[in-house]
Amino acid sequence: KGSGPTQSDLLRARMRLSLQERLWDFYQHDVDIPAEEQAVARKAALDICAELRVFLHAKLPDMPLREMYLSGSLYDDLQVVTADHAQLMVPLILEKNLWSSIPGEDTIMNVPGFWLVRRENLEYFPRNSSYWDRCMVGGYLSPKSVLEVFDKLVGTINWPAIGSVLDYVIRPVVPSETLTLEVQYETDRKLSVDFLPLLVMEDGTSLIAKPHRLAAERHENLWRQSFRVAETARLRALDQEDGGYRCACLKVAKAVCKLNPALNRLNASQLTNAILLLSEKQANWTHEALADNFLQLVKALVGYLEAGRLPCALSPRVNLFCELTEQEVDELGYTLYCALSEPELLLVT
């Protein structure tokens, strides 16, 4: 690059910057994904979604589904670092009179945030009155069994043929705990698309077929309540009210957790909720307050980890740390605690 500043000059210059400047620099160069890259990734996911719709309509016209759609951070401008994943939502249609949902806290498992979906009226509407009875286990709709239905289906699709039409390389990822397609849409760009079967109950509760992480056998029938749509909307609305940088702060935090192996276990939902809770105490979310708020966030997370409990802002009984092991809680807490004195160390690139 000619006689410009050397790498080490740049490095030294960067070290002199304040945390605020460092964070903003990190945000612009490492966190935020160029619009073009996002657009290409979205298009690849959309092409595949369209193919799958055609395939499912043709092959299984009587499977009661609403239209599949794509969702996730890639569609909310909340994805960070690389545009590399999306969720394909597959909404199942359940007959209202045949299925009911039972909150996890009312079951012997006592896990708020998870639900059982029970088959009702079997005496009047015997087995196979509902299409989804084939996924019934012990009287409950089994998310695992639902996933298996789609897993089998995906196995029967001729992906190389579809891929060559679309000019992508598509392959199902095996083994995978979720059902995932890997799409290579450019030589050096890959996208993973997760199938996420979804139930929308009568009261609007969204349940997804994503197993409890510490799934002992007795957890196997549990559906996970999803707060993603509501929590993301609330965060965005708060930013819109005051022109705040909460979403930017979230993206920085997500990138930090994505790039630091020791923090991989923290996910978007936990970080979003920690920021929502912080917003209840902290009024100033201007650009200038980004570093302050980022540090406050780290501090708050350390506190929640110490307590072993991060309440969901939309449903405080739900503990968003309930799927972490004690050891993971300790390690996360330790890493973040150390970062409080040297937060720059988190901004690895």
Interface residues toward ligand GDP, by CB under 6 A: 71-73, 78-79, 85, 87, 196, 206, 208, 210, 226, 228-229, 254, 267-268
Shortest Cβ 122–ligand GDP spacing (Å): 30
Q: Residue 181 or 208: which CB sits closer to ligand GDP?
A: 208
The CB-of-10 to ligand GDP minimum distance in angstroms stands at 29
* Cβ distance to ligand GDP smaller for residue 98 or 312: 312
CB proximity list for 307: less than 8 A, separation 6 or greater = none
Between 208 and 278, CB nearer to ligand GDP: 208
Q: How far apart are CA 99 and CA 120, in angstroms?
A: 5
Residue among 117 and 136 whose Cβ is closer to ligand GDP: 117
At residue 204, what are phi and psi to the nearest 5 degrees? Answer: 95, -5
| Nearer Cβ to ligand GDP (22/251) | 251
Residue whose CB is less far from ligand GDP, 78 or 93: 78
C-alpha dist (Å) from residue 35 to 39, 74, 232, 233, 255: 6, 11, 20, 21, 17
Least separation in angstroms between residue 259's CB and ligand GDP is 12
Q: How far is the CB of 186 from ligand GDP (least distance, A)?
A: 20
> Shortest gap between Cβ of 89 and ligand GDP (angstroms)?
6
CB of 284 to ligand GDP, least distance (A): 25
- Cβ closer to ligand GDP: 82 or 100? 82
Q: How far is the CB of 250 from ligand GDP (least distance, A)?
A: 9
